[in-house]
Chains A and B, each alone.
Chain A
Amino acid sequence: MRDFQTSGGLLRALHPATLTRWLVSGPPTAFMLLFFLAPSLIMVLASFRFPGAFGGLAPLIGAGRAGEDTGLTLENYQFFFSDWLYAEIFVKSLVVALVSTLTCLVMAYPLALLIARSPKRHRDLMVLLVILPFASNFLIRVYALMILLGPQQALASAVNGLLALFGVAPVNLLFSTFAVIVGMVYVHLPFMVLPLYTNLEKHDPSLLDAAQDLGANGWQRFWRVTFPLSLPGIFSGSALVFIPVLGMFAIPDLLGGTRDILIGNLIKDQFLGTRDWPFGSMLSIMLTLVVLGLAGFAARLGRRDRNEET
């Protein structure tokens, strides 16, 4: 890109090396422009339009059918901001995503550490085992969870038997927020394990030896050496879990109880149920903004940490 700013830009652009670079980076760039940027812009535009009488969008210009408003409007945004109801769903989804991400992290970290510190010949097999669940369809695995958590299964009987000892009324494991989080963690765990493992595997063992020589005990070696070095892995793993969880609708649909509506369900409803594309587009944009905001916040936090260290 910088080449074009110099005086001989055009000539340089035709240089074989530059040409190769364009040939290599061109197709993916075009792909992203076509299938990411263009739909996003369509979505932004849709969020300022009226829904059509039969679903879809009302025309931007010209007369619509009976009962259709045409042109541009802020109505969708006004409806969103008119009270706290929709903000509540966002907060709730963020909490579920946060809890799922933290649970994934707590469960994945020891596992990733274990794999990274195993003998090399075992590691490939262990990584393979981590990604093995991907071999079967995710919906089938969620249905399997429904069976496991069902009220007449051993797990529910054991839990409720235990609760009965303390005089607590029996609970439903399935169709609860608990089940939603179990489902989220189960489906997304590999996305946390893999980046953590890739990071932890690269750590130089001599750093730990040095720390030991300087008198650090096991706990200190972990907190002062391994953990800070693994932060990039934690950040990327967390992003890979947090963001998909935020948009997930199938798991709350299948495992959730009567209160487990998340932002993903709300957006899906707008397109498939209510036929209100503009409102759905507006919600998607809000979600994107929230995710971008959080990512920006995390990036600034990370940068400040690094600045303080130096």
Chain B
Amino acid sequence: MSAGAVLPVGVLPGSTRRVQSRNSGLGALQGLALALVLSMLPLLQAQAADVLRLFNWNNYISQDTLDRFEGVCHCRVLQDYYSDNEEMLAKLAAGATGYDIIVPTGNAVETLIRQEALRPLDRKQLPHFGNLNPDFLKAFFDPGNRYSVPYAYTITLLGYNQTRLDALGLPHDTWALLFEPRYLEKLKGRVTVLDSPRELMAAALRYLGYSANDRDETHWARARDLIIRAKPYWASFSNSSYIKELTLGNIWLAHGYSNDMFVAAQDAQKAGRAFKVGFSTPKEGAVLALDSMVLHKSGPRPDLALRFIDFMLDGHNSAELTNLIGSGNPNAAAMQYITPDIANNRAIFPDSDGVRRLEMLRDLDRLQRRVLNRMWVEIKLR
């Protein structure tokens, strides 16, 4: 008996999944969807023994991909969502169990590995592993890819109102836009930056010619002073509302994530605005966040989980996510299925020279975290 055939109700949680976006501030829909999924849980388990539980970012897999996987494996995929690595780690730390697959960012993978919370991968079960672009293998958090399989990535970069920037005669591809008063004077009150100490300091450090992972406190202090000098020109610190503000034309320059900028550019186009939203990676270098699939030890179905990972390594399946949300794709076999607009966008798919200027953020130790937090308070107060 096929599980899919006897489960018309399964369509319901599937269709609510689609309304969510990764950075949606409206938790109500999400809560409703989660409640629906949870209320279906006993029902689904009663009728289908094969359930894969996925703990994922909001809107981080295409519904078509999910439907196809469910057809192939004769199982159901249930998702829970998080919008922040810290939130995901906090839920696990509070005792959440039963997730077969999680999709954390690099430094969170490192944390999970060091907590011994992950199951090593059986590479023999992953025949499509060779599809991955070697640039994204052997990352610092898991040098031998014993635990993690790259899934998708985003770059922290600059999104902008291209029409305004061109009219003002400003460049597009340098952090100087964010930090140099001679540029900022033309953008006063039209700039937002991420409300994240690590991300903003990384941008300032790269602009000053240091590594985003530089630990030297005198370099941090220089970055802090640079930020404090530029701050009077900024409108606000914003982690998600910049998407809306860019598409409305209220904000002309935003420091944020490539997939968010992709959404903003699409929305502005769909809404028929008189201006164009663009985004590009500053030439001084930027932060790369690589999300990977990992197996959590508490997951009851590592067999299904491995099938899922191999399924996602297929170029066609992997490309669907990129076409949906404009995320970067570490899968070389996916490139042929990706819309040319996206595949040719250097802010989503950097050339090999661009890749070399990208850095993944590493975790700080507790004293460094505290020093950085103190600088952050100084930045916010001045």
Contacts and interface: CB of A to CB of B under 8 A. Distances in A.
B93 interface: yes
Interface in B84-109: 84, 86-87, 89-90, 93
B350 interface: no
Interface in A261-301: 261, 265-266, 269-270, 272-276, 279
A3 interface: no
A86 interface: yes
Contact of A67 (B27, B197, B235, B365): B365
Interface string A170-200: 0010010000000000000000000000000
A88 B197 CA distance: 20
Interface in B217-252: 231-232, 234-237, 241, 248-250
Contacts of A275: 86, 369
Given A152-B249, A273-B196, A256 B236 contact: yes
B380 interface: yes
Interface in A227-283: 253-254, 256-259, 261, 265-266, 269-270, 272-276, 279
A258 B234 contact: yes
Contacts of B25: 139, 143
Interface residues of B, number: 40
Nearest to A279: B370
B195 A172 contact: no
Given A54-B114, A259-B380, A172 B235 contact: yes
B26 interface: yes
Nearest to B112: A54
B196 A50 contact: no
A140 interface: yes
Contacts of A85: 374, 377-378, 381
B235 A261 contact: no
Interface in B21-39: 25-28
Given A261-B381, A275-B86, A172 B189 contact: yes
B373 interface: yes
A150 B381 contact: no
Nearest to B250: A151
A182 to B, nearest CB: 15
B111 interface: yes
B245 to A, nearest CB: 9
Contact of A274 (B89, B90, B236, B369): B369
B366 interface: yes
A53 interface: yes
Given A140-B26, A257-B235, A272 B373 contact: no
Contacts of A54: 89, 93, 111, 114-115
Instruction: Name which of B84, B90, B111, B380 has the most chain A CB atoms within 10 A of its CB.
Output: B380
A151 B190 CA distance: 10
Nearest to A79: B370
A175 B197 CA distance: 19
A254 B189 contact: no
A258 B28 contact: no
Contact of A53 (B250, B366, B381): B366
A137 B26 CA distance: 10
A59 interface: no
B235 A258 contact: yes
A172 B187 CA distance: 13
A302 to B, nearest CB: 34
Contacts of A152: 248-250
Contacts of A137: 28
Nearest to B197: A273
Contact of B366 (A67, A146, A150, A269): A67
B233 to A, nearest CB: 9
Contacts of B189: 151, 172
A9 interface: no
A92 B28 contact: no
Given A139-B25, A254-B241, A55 B90 contact: yes
A308 B25 CA distance: 53
B235 A89 contact: no
Contacts of B111: 54
Contact of A92 (B26, B197, B381): B381
A150 B380 contact: no
Contacts of A257: 235-236
A155 to B, nearest CB: 14
A71 interface: no
A261 B379 CA distance: 10
Q: Which 6 A-B pairs have the closest CB atoms?
A: A261-B380, A175-B236, A274-B373, A175-B235, A51-B366, A54-B111
Interface of A: 50-51, 53-56, 65, 67-68, 79, 85-86, 88-89, 92, 137, 139-140, 143, 146, 150-152, 172, 175, 253-254, 256-259, 261, 265-266, 269-270, 272-276, 279
Given A56-B93, A259-B231, A274-B369, 7 more contacts: A54-B111, A79-B370, A79-B374, A85-B381, A151-B250, A258-B237, A269-B373
27 contacts: A53-B114, A54-B114, A54-B115, A55-B86, A56-B93, A65-B114, A68-B366, A79-B374, A85-B377, A89-B377, A146-B241, A151-B189, A172-B235, A175-B235, A256-B236, A258-B232, A258-B237, A258-B380, A259-B380, A261-B380, A273-B196, A275-B86, A275-B369, A276-B366, A276-B369, A276-B373, A279-B373
Interface of B: 25-28, 84, 86-87, 89-90, 93, 111, 114-115, 189, 195-197, 231-232, 234-237, 241, 248-250, 365-366, 369-370, 372-374, 376-378, 380-382
